[in-house]
Amino acid sequence: MSAWETLARLGKAAAGRRILDLFQDGDRMAQFTARTGSMVLDFSKTNIDAETLAALIELATEADVAAHREAMFTGARINQTEGRAVLHTALRNLAGRVVVDGVDVMPEVRETHARASAFARDVRSGVFAGQGGRITDVVNIGIGGSDLGPAMGWLALQPYADGPRCHFVSNVDGAHIHDTLRGLNPETTLVIVASKTFTTIETMTNADTAKAWMAAKVAQPGRQFAAVSTAAERTAAYGIDPARVFGFEDWVGGRYSMWGPIGLSLMIAIGPERFDEFLAGGAAMDAHFRSEPFARNLPVLLALVGIWHNQILGHATRAVLPYDQRLSRLPAYLQQLEMESNGKRVAMDGSDLTLNSGPVVWGEPGTNGQHAFYQLIHQGTRVVPCEFLVAAKGHEPALAHQHLLLVANCLAQSEALLRGRSLDEARAMMAKKGLTGEELDRQARHRVFPGNRPSTTLIYPQLTPFVLGQIIALYEHRVFVEGVILGLNSFDQWGVELGKELALSLSPVLKGAEDGSGKDPSTRALAAYFRDHA
């Protein structure tokens, strides 16, 4: 029997079992928590028992996760639909040696890292200045992976942000750049155009807008532009001095790119030393992922929990709930990482995927979410596996009492999801309030929590640059392992292409230059409405 078949059987058996009962096994906490350094993943509050865990590990073994992992780390072209290696791990392993097609790629990685670090230092110290003096603001123009990583990191690492303020413009909606530039002084602003391809229409349009904004006040606006891209010819054609162009190779996927020069804005904000601590955290997770047995390997375990919830039990979504306000953009970051990587309907060999693809990922920081959507998580008819993240310590010693409340809320939520509240308990509660008879029953039923809802908790000492690096690399490898088990290519993104093409074909229709006769009636009518009202 294959591991999938065993798991299908175990999935059915789990339906009649309560997670709380699994804790009768005195060893559960030892077996269902894993750690690396001082970071702990607790997955004991899931409906996975010892037999299921063994079958899940067997699944990873059958899928040959270990061989795929080695292939990735050593530069094999595992992104087969684009013919590329997948080496974002090389960006955080600066002392390493990685050979692609007989060439050690690391000297170039190190050189770019050193140039970016020197530039970041110069911007921070004022050696590199704008027309009006020291740079006060950095505007990163990019979208998707060229935005979400540094934007998420800028918020996450605010306690370390002692350089210029950073701003992030991604949307082609003119409102975004308009509202961002309003209030900034072009004479002391640095614009970073971040685009792997340097063709993305949103980014290039916003870059043009920023250039015009700067040109109105700055004699040599190009001097206050930098670029991050794999396309050196295009950055040159755009007029950006090669001294301020930071390249990377096509073996870094957009959503995996914040470790390299795409992280330049973050590097300027927190300084290259702190940025290197972030890289070190990622490298530490790489070492853990590469060497720990599956039963103690955080990314592998997190992936297996995900497979259990989505592909075996059929829970289509996954909530990421950081009890850490500074991780407020982590859910958005993970949406791209997970959904662009594993939202595929075809396996690596082109055959139809016979399993569900990766889950819908969503979330908001706690405690805010508690006052918004947790109602559904606790009492809705669909089960939403929850992933909590929390630090033992905040960065505001004077507000330690608030941090304690934050942690109490985080732990309370996973406890409530686990335990629930029975009808008897709810009835007793209502009886205490003086209700009787049918009204007591009716009111009690509304106050029942089914419980038995799965969650994991990732707990770490404090959200430092190192820990952020660990967290991001943990999720990257989790996505990788899930992709290997599902047999798909986590590193392409063909699903974003069609909409881009159609947007191009719609521009002339919206302008009235074409009648849109090839379009469906709904699209034609919407375009006509636009023309009538714009």
Residue from 105, 123, 143, 218 binding ligand F6P (CB under 6 A): 143
The Cα 16–Cα 19 span in angstroms is 10
C-alpha 447/C-alpha 444 separation (Å) is 5
Closer Cβ to ligand F6P, 198 or 323, answer by number? 198
In angstroms, give the least distance from the CB of 141 to ligand F6P: 10
Angle between helices 465-486 and 148-156 (to 10 degrees): 140
Q: CB within 8 A of 59, min separation 6: which ones?
A: 3, 4, 7, 304, 307, 485
Other beta carbons within 10 Å of 411: 15
Q: 120 or 194: whose CB is closer to ligand F6P?
A: 194
**322: which DSSP letter?**
E
The gap between the terminal CA atoms of the chain, to the nearest Å, is: 62
Q: Is 500 a catalytic residue?
A: yes
Q: Which stretch binds ligand F6P (CB under 6 A): 158-166, 197-205, 350-358, 481-489?
A: 197-205
Catalytic residue chosen out of the listed positions 202, 249, 338, 340: 340
Q: Using the rule CB under 6 A, which residue among 75, 130, 145, 260 binds ligand F6P?
A: 145
Please tell me the count of residues contacting ligand F6P according to CB under 6 A: 14
Instruction: Please list every residue from 251 through 270 that binds ligand F6P, using CB under 6 A.
Output: 254-255
340 tagged catalytic: yes
Q: Which one of 43-51, 139-147, 154-162, 180-188 is the stretch in contact with ligand F6P (CB under 6 A)? A: 139-147
Candidate ranges 29-37, 138-146, 178-186, 343-351; the one touching ligand F6P (CB under 6 A): 138-146
The number of C-alpha atoms within 13 Å of 98 and in the hemisphere containing its C-beta is 27
Q: Which is nearer to ligand F6P, 117 or 197 (CB)?
A: 197
Question: What Å distances lie between residue 308 and 10, 88, 419, CA to CA?
Answer: 10, 27, 20
CB 59 within 8 A of CB 304: yes
| Complex with ligand F6P: residue 52 or 206, whichever CB lies closer | 206
Query: Contacting ligand F6P (CB under 6 A), which of 46, 52, 140, 203?
Result: 203
Range 311-340, binding ligand F6P (CB under 6 A) = 340
Beta carbon of residue 489, minimum distance to ligand F6P (angstroms, whole number): 13
Taking CB under 6 A as the rule, does residue 197 contact ligand F6P? yes
Q: Looking at 140-148, 275-283, 341-349, 368-376, which segment touches ligand F6P (CB under 6 A)?
A: 140-148
Q: Shortest gap between Cβ of 255 and ligand F6P (angstroms)? A: 5
Q: Is 237 in the site for ligand F6P (CB under 6 A)?
A: no
Quick check: 359 binds ligand F6P (CB under 6 A)? no
CB-CB contact of 138 with 167 (8 Å): yes
The answer to whether the peptide bond before residue 367 is cis (omega within 30 degrees of 0) is: yes
Q: List Cα–Cα distances, 289 to 36, 282, 284, 349, in angstroms.
A: 10, 10, 9, 26
Query: Please, which of residues 476-505 interact with ligand F6P by CB under 6 A?
Result: 493, 496
Q: How far apart are CA 129 and CA 106, in angstroms?
A: 31
Six-digit token string for 390: 């929390």
**Where on the chain is the footprint of ligand F6P (CB under 6 A)?**
143-146, 195-197, 200, 203, 254-255, 340, 493, 496
Residues annotated as catalytic are: 340, 371, 500
